[in-house]
């Protein structure tokens, strides 16, 4: 795959390096699939005609406790995104923080829900500080893999 330099929203289309681009995306939540199967499933998605893999990031899977953040093994988002790129596909990363996805607490960690007075899913200082910490853990994984930096990530929702 030639690495595009830009992805934008045009008047009528998405634009990949200034040219119209149609996202043909399928969801694959890396935390629900054994890592030994990631490459195979990504390949099969491409063979079905998709050009993009969309994935949620489940905060509670990565942060079972407030002082831990796991990005290894079945939670290795970076490896997953690298496999998407190796297949010549793009990625849409959806870190939430609330993801729903028929996932416990919509991905919000239990330790956060136990904090007295925390305002879940609203502009409340305790919640927003926790979200900022969560995104600080993800940024070193996602940012270098953004399209404009040579990676597969075309959108973050």
Residue with tokens 């993009």: 52
Report pLDDT digits (tens) over 16-33.
999 999 999 999 999 999
71 to 41, 64, 95: CA distances (angstroms): 20, 12, 14
Residue with tokens 């996202």: 23
| Distance (Å, whole) CA 45 – CA 47 | 5
Which residue has better confidence, 123 or 41?
41
| Distance (Å, whole) CA 3 – CA 67 | 37
Per the CB < 8 A criterion, the answer to whether 56 and 121 are in contact is no
Question: Looking at residue 153, what is its pLDDT?
Answer: 97
Helix and strand counts by DSSP (H, E) for the chain: 5, 7
- What is the pTM for the complete model shown? 0.93
| Distance (Å, whole) CA 142 – CA 152 | 10
88 pLDDT band, cuts 50/70/90, is very high
Average pLDDT over residues 9-15: 94
Query: CB under 8 Å to 41, separation ≥6 — which residues?
Result: 28, 33
Average pLDDT over residues 43-59: 98
């Amino acid at each position: 795959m030639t690495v595009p330099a830009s992805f934008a929203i045009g008047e009528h289309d998405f634009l990949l390096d200034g040219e119209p681009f149609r996202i043909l995306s399928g969801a694959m939540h890396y935390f629900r699939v054994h890592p030994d199967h990631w490459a195979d499933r990504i390949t099969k998605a491409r063979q079905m005609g998709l050009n993009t893999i969309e994935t949620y990031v489940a905060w509670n899977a990565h942060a079972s406790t407030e002082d831990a953040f796991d990005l290894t093994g079945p939670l290795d988002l970076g490896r997953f995104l690298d496999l998407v790129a190796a297949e010549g596909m793009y990625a849409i990363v959806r870190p939430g923080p609330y993801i729903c996805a028929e996932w416990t607490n919509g991905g919000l960690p239990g330790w956060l829900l136990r904090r007295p007075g925390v305002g879940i899913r609203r502009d409340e200082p305790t919640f927003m500080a926790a979200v900022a910490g969560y995104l600080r853990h993800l940024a070193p994984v996602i940012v270098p893999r953004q399209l404009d930096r040579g990676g597969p990530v075309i959108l973050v929702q």
